[in-house]
Amino acid sequence: MKKIAYIGLVLGISLTIVPCQGQNNWYWQNPRPCGNHLRSVQTITQSLIVAVGDQGTILRSSDGGVTWDVQSSGVSVSLGSVCFTDANSGYAVGDSGTVLHTTNGGTFWLPQPIGTTAHLYGVSFATANVGMIVGDAGANYRTTDGGHHWVLQYGSPDQTLYSVKFHDVNTGTMTGSYGAIFRTTNGGAKWNRQYSGTDYELYGASFPNASTGTVVGELGTILHTTDGGDSWVSQPSGISDHLSAVSFSDPLTGTIVGDNGLVIRSTDGGATWAIQSSGTETWLTGVSFADSKTGTIAGSYGVVYRTTNGGASWSLATPGTRFPLYAIDMADFQHGAIAGAYGTLLITSDGGASWIPRIISTRSHLRCIRCFDRDTAMAGGDNNTILRTTNAGMSWATIPVPGIPADPLRPITFTTIAFRPSGIGLMAGWKDSLVKVTDTVNDVVRESWVKAQFAVAWRTTNGGGSWNSVLADSLIGKVRAISFTSDSNAIAIAISSSDTWGLMFWTSDTGSIWSGPSNWPRRFLSMSFGSPLRGVIVGDLGDTFWTPFGGKGWGFGRGQPKRNLWGVSMGDSLNAVAVGDSMTIIRTIDGGRNWTSEWTPWDLSLNAVCAIDKQHQIAVGDGGTILASYSAGPATDVQRSLQSGTVPRFSLAQNYPNPFNPSTSISFSLSARSFVSIRIYDVLGREIAVLVNEVMDGGAHLVRWDASRFPSGIYYYRLKSDNGKFTRSMILLR
């Protein structure tokens, strides 16, 4: 392979930051109803449940967890605890001294400052009037008038209090750092420290009666008392994961939850505990029972489980995968596929309104996916995994690729797939191998073998029917992305085997022969081209690069935050979206020269994004996160555009996005010139809007409905023409 020290020229152009024009809205698609981490839950009645968590998240169900509403909290801090004194009055507390109060069952919350900026982790009420709040720096506040006034009680500034729980009108327990356990027998007026026998952090307590109780904490700590806490006995749990919360549904039956999906159950008052299968590996943070049968568990990525048999079994109440998602590609506005951890494959045929999981034969992580059309797609990942579907994702077959080693100790990881319409394609990644290293110490030459990754690539000329190796055992590095810039030219980016710098190499004959690499002092993580000349690369700590010369010269982008960017996609030659750590989303409208950040009310890391065009994008990430975005545009009721090309059949697509707020796009096609009407109806069948009422040419069309003046709910849109009629439903969710 020809070695070239550097490719092109870094453009030395002085640029100014240009704000992103228009407003872009991101909408949650998976998991439902949202994926923010939940920190606490209370099962208030058999029907009413409230959970709180990160980014000010408040989830409420009034039908026993069948459906959930995302309530507005008015804050973006993490909420750590929630407590209701009855079906109407409740409190939530969180970071930066946040205290929220509701008097209507959790549908509306108001802030109630108590004079602190400390992080608050626990809240509990002994009666409707007497309650406690605890947190950092020994913070413990008490109210005796139903929360109208809070008085700071004495607490050690070196002591963090993680939980407070009243077991009856007089008796309560606080737990905290360094094995702290405090007990009150007078409604919280005075607290006495008890000897726990441990220095571990203690996160929760529950007493089924005045004498018998359980405290849980880090590294599998379970403490048990039968004398009201005068003495505590450590119970061997056999686990090292952190235990976050404990709750008893009756004097004998208790449930503990913790990291890695741990659910531990006791049926003898906490004397012994047995691990249950939860069906999840996410960490669980809260558990609460309304009575001896009805209970709720909450945890990371918005997961909620419900029981109606006292914890003997649990069922998922918030649907959707929580596995990390690594790649997405859309064949058109309606059809696409997502790949992720543990063999996760999701497909959509309604623009992402629903994502259907597909069962495949592997549990290997899938790192890349490419949709050729609505029927044909390929996915690749760890352990030599290559899959192909030709029936819109209904089934996936393993593709044999020549030259893949059978050695299980040196598997290939596929990370990128690129295709041209002609059927020429490339797929690439890396394989683990060993490299001999020699050094000299005191004139003695020593040899050793170290683990390294070699870049690999395969090429097809018949749409993936057969493949041949074009890059193997000649370049140390891990290929991250390949992009075709024309029918013949392609660029590949990689990370050095040591994970310290970026590599770039290129081909001018569809991948038969590669030149390079050039070494860059930055790690490359993703790349996309919107035209043969214009492309962007993103990487570590917000690094962005742009080219107007087909990759022969690169400039530095501006305006991005200093966070790792894992995915980028161009919708056309100027518009692109990049995503990364901590829900980082940045957008450019000038080909990558300048970037602006976009805010969302979530805080999960994103791994990949697909720009269907400059207005529509879908991003995926950790915890099963799927987000969709579209440009809001001018504030008009209806916007229409004629798509190029002719569609041979009469059809009406599912609106996109769905659910939506406040605007959505409806695409339809006509087989011939016809009079067309599109009308919107509410659930009572009343016509509320007319989007189209005129003669239109045959072909594909797009119309947009701005529903900003209508309330949340289910609506119906009906297409009627000389070709026939269709009716579909959509959801406006504010």
Question: Does the pLDDT at position 329 exceed 50?
Answer: yes
Percent of the chain having pLDDT more than 90?
A: 58
For the ranges 129-133, 445-449, 505-509, 687-691, the lowest mean pLDDT is seen at 445-449
| Residue given tokens 């970071």 in the structure block | 95
- Residue 697 has what pLDDT? 80
Task: Count other C-beta atoms under 10 Å from residue 697's C-beta.
Answer: 12
**Using omega within 30 degrees of 0 as the cis cutoff, is the peptide bond preceding 31 cis?**
yes
Going by C-alpha positions, the residue among 192, 154, 156, 191 that lies closest to residue 177 is 156
- Residue 638 has what pLDDT? 37
Domains with residue ranges and CATH for the chain = 9-22+322-631 (2.130.10.10), 45-316 (2.130.10.10), 638-732 (2.60.40.1930)
- Residue 473 has what pLDDT? 63
Q: Which pair of structure tokens corresponds to residue 434?
A: 């060993």
Region 637-645 average pLDDT: 36
Amino acid at 453: Q
- With cut-offs at 50, 70 and 90, classify the pLDDT of residue 21: very low
- Write the pLDDT tens digit of every residue in 235-272: 988 889 999 999 999 999 999 999 999 999 999 999 99
What are all long-range contacts of 472-477, with beta carbons under 8 Å and residues at least 24 apart? Answer: 472/403, 473/433, 474/1, 475/1, 475/503, 475/505, 475/517, 476/435, 476/452, 477/430, 477/453, 477/503, 477/517
Amino acid at 326: Y
- Residue 18 has what pLDDT? 27
Cα separation, 289 vs 291, in Å, equals 6
For the ranges 1-5, 286-290, 446-450, the lowest mean pLDDT is seen at 1-5
- Residue 4 has what pLDDT? 30
Region 663-674 average pLDDT: 85
- Write the pLDDT tens digit of every residue in 487-498: 899 999 999 878
Q: Which pair of structure tokens corresponds to residue 620?
A: 């995926």
- Residue 437 has what pLDDT? 64
Question: Does the pLDDT at position 336 exceed 90?
Answer: yes
Question: Does the pLDDT at position 355 exceed 80?
Answer: yes
- Write the pLDDT tens digit of every residue in 551-600: 989 999 998 888 999 999 999 999 999 999 999 999 999 999 999 999 88
- With cut-offs at 50, 70 and 90, classify the pLDDT of residue 26: confident
Tell how far CA 51 is from the center of its chain.
Answer: 18
Region 191-214 average pLDDT: 94
Q: Give the highest mean pLDDT range of 108-117, 198-207, 384-393, 489-498.
A: 198-207
Cα dihedral 639/642/647/648 (nearest 10): 90
386 touches 392 (CB < 8 A): no
